[in-house]
Structure 1
Amino acid sequence: MARTYDKLVRDAIPEIIEENDETAVTHTADSDEYERRLAEKLDEEVAEVHESGDVMELADVLEVVYALADRKGVSRDELERLRAEKATERGGFEDGIVLERVE
């Protein structure tokens, strides 16, 4: 029975499907489609974090973030440097501060 997904998947998924005696029908996204699909995938993975709270979903979010950074020519190390720099300048989210308003 055919199932339709029409979404970006991890590179090994077609092989895993084939190992289960099913046929994966795929195509390789061009540059514009790939960027759009990565943004959609980020939304999907963030929604899964909200739904399940599973730390593995956070790992999926991070994988998509790394792919998006790579598309912009930013390495994982550079992304971490930028994150740390911003945390130094503006703080992190450890204290749970909620800004209600500015008067």
Structure 2
Amino acid sequence: MTREYDKLVRDRIPEVVREDDETPVTHRVDGEAYRDRLADKLLEEATEYAESRAVEELADVLEVVAAIREARDVSSEELEAIRAEKAAERGGFTDGVVLERVEE
């Protein structure tokens, strides 16, 4: 039985598949194709977290963010500085504010 995925997976997934006596068919991407696959993976993991609210899925989101940061050659300190600057300018998401509309 063949199952189709065509998605970026964690580096050890082919090994895990082989351990289950199955044969993974893979290829590697780099450059812009890799960054595109990471963006798709971020949406996938964020959707999985939104649907399940499982902390394990949130950890997957962070793993993808770390990979994107590395692929973009952005240090964790630089990313944190950008996050803190935006929070200082516009606030965070801790107060639960919902914008219903803006009236003129």
Q: Same fold (TM over 0.5)?
A: yes
Map of 2:14 onto structure 1? 14
Moved over 2 A (4+): 100-103
Aligned length: 103
Runs of 5+ consecutive residues of structure 1 not aligned to the other structure: none
**Once the 2 structures are TM-superposed, how far is the Cα of residue 16 of structure 1 from its aligned partner?**
1.0
Map of 2:61 onto structure 1? 61
Distance 2:61 2:53 in 1: 12
Q: Determine whether 1:52 maps to 2:69.
A: no
User: Taking every aligned residue pair, what percent have the same amino acid on both sides?
Assistant: 63
CA root-mean-square deviation: 1.4
**Once the 2 structures are TM-superposed, how far is the Cα of residue 51 of structure 1 from its aligned partner?**
1.3
Runs of 5+ consecutive residues of structure 2 not aligned to the other structure: none
**Once the 2 structures are TM-superposed, how far is the Cα of residue 8 of structure 1 from its aligned partner?**
0.2
When the two structures are superposed, what TM-score results if normalisation uses the length of structure 2? 0.88
When the two structures are superposed, what TM-score results if normalisation uses the length of structure 1? 0.89
Greater alpha carbon shift after TM alignment, 72-81 vs 44-53: 72-81
